[in-house]
């Protein structure tokens, strides 16, 4: 490989309108899916593209934060940078002036997600391999060097992280079968909040016919009866053997979550998602007790590894829905994967990236960490905008083969 230097950093504010009703949930009535894109140019044909998601107005704030935070990357050679990325990430996150705006949360952390993901994309392209292969080819020491484990050392030291990677090396060959099989998907787009009953049923039947076996429904309506009716409808349309998940998008307080969780339990959901405010660790612990044996999932609004450490250690959630475009990118996602693995919890990502990045990351989590195979959320609404959109066939993600992290956009095609 020739040396590959970052010569220019830019941020691009991309906004995409959705079909009517698509993306709607209990708290986001009419979202405009927006990507705050980091572009790392190299003076040559290679460019790194990183993304994070926002929902419209405000995407510009993340772009402005990217332009401030990414400056120290200019002039860095990509291999040298990634050999110490954990240390660099901590420095970027702890910029003495910008740290106050978080720390490690909100606009500045979303910006770091986009920046970090651009670095990994450029790194994988520079090695000519897809992200999943880049990660699987790294040694435990190289993997640990990608991570900032500060503030989680009480449950995960660098040495313990190295041991987890090393211990699980043995069963890799067998687990690599997932690369050929492809990773199962589940369909979130059948049950948006604004969809009429008939549409939910039609979409569910169409998704079943395509091979999906698991479906998510948005709940958290002010009309509890509507939620229950739609949940019943989904069970009827999807059939007894289908896997269902109900997602309240933080709308409920603890009283409503308890009441609705008990009602919805009759429909045997695999999980209830974001039942209440994402900062409420103790609230989730209370809910796990009140609602047992119903299981809880959350994570799409948990900003960093410290928050995940708390939820995981407290037993506040059963499914860890880390998102590499909410956390500080692929690096902090891997840290949360290690935390989940250490505590024996399944990591089932939320896909703010529409699955583009996470299709790589679930493969890594399966092969390298031995995580059980669950399924990866599938949301098709932005696929025409990606240069290499995810390919889901028979309800299964096909393993991507193009170099990079699959985050390039059609209208930001590499100039060369």
| Sites of contact with a copy of itself (CB under 8 A) | 27-32, 53-58, 60-62, 64-65, 68, 94-110, 150-151, 153-154, 250, 253-255, 276-283, 286, 301, 303-304, 306-307, 309-310, 313-314
DSSP state of 371: P
User: Could you tell me the CA-to-CA distances from 119 to 25, 46, 103, 184, 308 in Å, in that order?
Assistant: 32, 12, 21, 27, 23
Q: Give which of 355, 352, 307, 304 is closest to 36, Cα–Cα.
A: 352
Closest separation between CB of residue 154 and a copy of itself, Å?
4
Hey, is 258 helix, strand or coil?
helix
List the beta bridge partners of residue 9: 40
List the beta bridge partners of residue 347: 320
What the block records as the tokens of 134 is 């880049």
Closest separation between CB of residue 211 and a copy of itself, Å?
31
Q: Which is nearer to a copy of itself, 94 or 391 (CB)?
A: 94
Out of 104, 125, 350, 360, the active site residue is 350
Q: Which is nearer to a copy of itself, 47 or 302 (CB)?
A: 302
Q: Which is nearer to a copy of itself, 29 or 232 (CB)?
A: 29
Closest separation between CB of residue 301 and a copy of itself, Å?
6
Q: Which is nearer to a copy of itself, 185 or 303 (CB)?
A: 303
Out of 133, 218, 284, 309, the active site residue is 218
* C-alpha to C-alpha distance for 59 and 325, rounded to whole angstroms: 13
Q: Give which of 135, 164, 271, 162 is closest to 214, Cα–Cα.
A: 271
Burial class (CB in 10 A: 0-12, 13-18, 19+), 120: buried
Cα atoms in the 13 Å half-sphere on the side-chain side of 295: 13
* C-alpha to C-alpha distance for 120 and 125, rounded to whole angstroms: 9
What the block records as the tokens of 5 is 């230097």
Closest separation between CB of residue 286 and a copy of itself, Å?
7
Q: Which is nearer to a copy of itself, 82 or 93 (CB)?
A: 93
Catalytic residue flag (residue 350): yes
Burial class (CB in 10 A: 0-12, 13-18, 19+), 294: buried
Q: Which is nearer to a copy of itself, 54 or 341 (CB)?
A: 54
Hey, is 307 helix, strand or coil?
helix
User: Could you tell me the CA-to-CA distances from 346 to 317, 361, 374 in Å, in that order?
Assistant: 10, 13, 8
Asked whether 237 and 210 are in contact (CB, 8 A), the reply is no
Closest separation between CB of residue 404 and a copy of itself, Å?
26
Q: Which is nearer to a copy of itself, 286 or 295 (CB)?
A: 286
Closest separation between CB of residue 98 and a copy of itself, Å?
5
Catalytic residue flag (residue 218): yes
Closest separation between CB of residue 177 and a copy of itself, Å?
37
Active site residues: 218, 350
């Amino acid at each position: 490989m020739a040396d590959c230097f970052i010569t220019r950093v830019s941020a691009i504010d991309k906004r995409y309108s959705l079909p009517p009703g698509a993306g709607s949930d209990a708290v986001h009535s009419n979202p405009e899916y927006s990507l705050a894109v980091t572009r790392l140019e190299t003076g040559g044909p290679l460019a790194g593209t990183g993304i994070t998601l926002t929902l419209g107005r405000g995407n510009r704030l993340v772009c402005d934060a990217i332009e401030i935070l990414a400056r120290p990357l200019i002039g860095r050679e990509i291999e040298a940078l990634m050999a110490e990325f954990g240390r660099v990430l901590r420095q970027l996150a702890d910029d003495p002036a910008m740290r106050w705006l978080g720390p490690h949360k909100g606009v500045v952390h979303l910006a770091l997600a986009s920046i970090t993901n651009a670095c990994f994309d450029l790194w994988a392209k520079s090695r000519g391999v897809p992200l999943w292969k880049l990660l699987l080819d790294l040694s435990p020491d190289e993997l640990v060097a990608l991570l900032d484990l500060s503030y989680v050392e009480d449950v995960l030291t660098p040495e313990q992280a190295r041991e987890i990677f090393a211990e699980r090396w043995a069963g890799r060959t067998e687990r690599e079968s997932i690369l050929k099989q492809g990773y199962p998907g589940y369909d979130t787009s059948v049950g948006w909040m604004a969809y009429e009953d008939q549409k939910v049923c039609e979409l569910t039947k169409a998704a079943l016919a395509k091979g999906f076996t698991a479906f998510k429904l948005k709940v958290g309506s002010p009309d509890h009866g509507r939620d229950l009716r739609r949940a019943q409808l989904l069970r009827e349309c999807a059939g007894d053997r289908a896997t269902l998940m109900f997602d309240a998008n933080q709308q409920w307080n603890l009283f409503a979550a308890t009441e609705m969780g008990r009602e919805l339990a009759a429909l045997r959901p695999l999980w209830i998602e974001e039942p209440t405010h994402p900062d409420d660790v103790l609230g989730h612990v209370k809910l796990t007790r009140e609602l047992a044996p119903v299981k809880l999932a959350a994570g799409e609004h948990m900003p960093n590894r410290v928050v995940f450490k708390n939820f995981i250690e407290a037993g506040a959630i059963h499914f860890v829905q880390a998102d590499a475009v909410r956390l500080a990118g692929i690096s902090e996602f891997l840290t949360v994967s290690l935390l989940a693995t250490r505590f024996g919890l399944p990591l089932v990502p939320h896909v703010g990236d529409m699955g583009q990045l996470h299709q790589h990351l679930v493969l890594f989590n399966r092969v390298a960490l031995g995580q059980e195979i669950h399924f990866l959320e599938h949301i098709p609404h932005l696929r025409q905008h990606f240069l290499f959109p995810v390919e889901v066939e028979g309800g299964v993600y096909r393993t991507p083969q193009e170099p990079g992290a699959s985050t390039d956009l059609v209208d930001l095609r590499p100039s060369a």
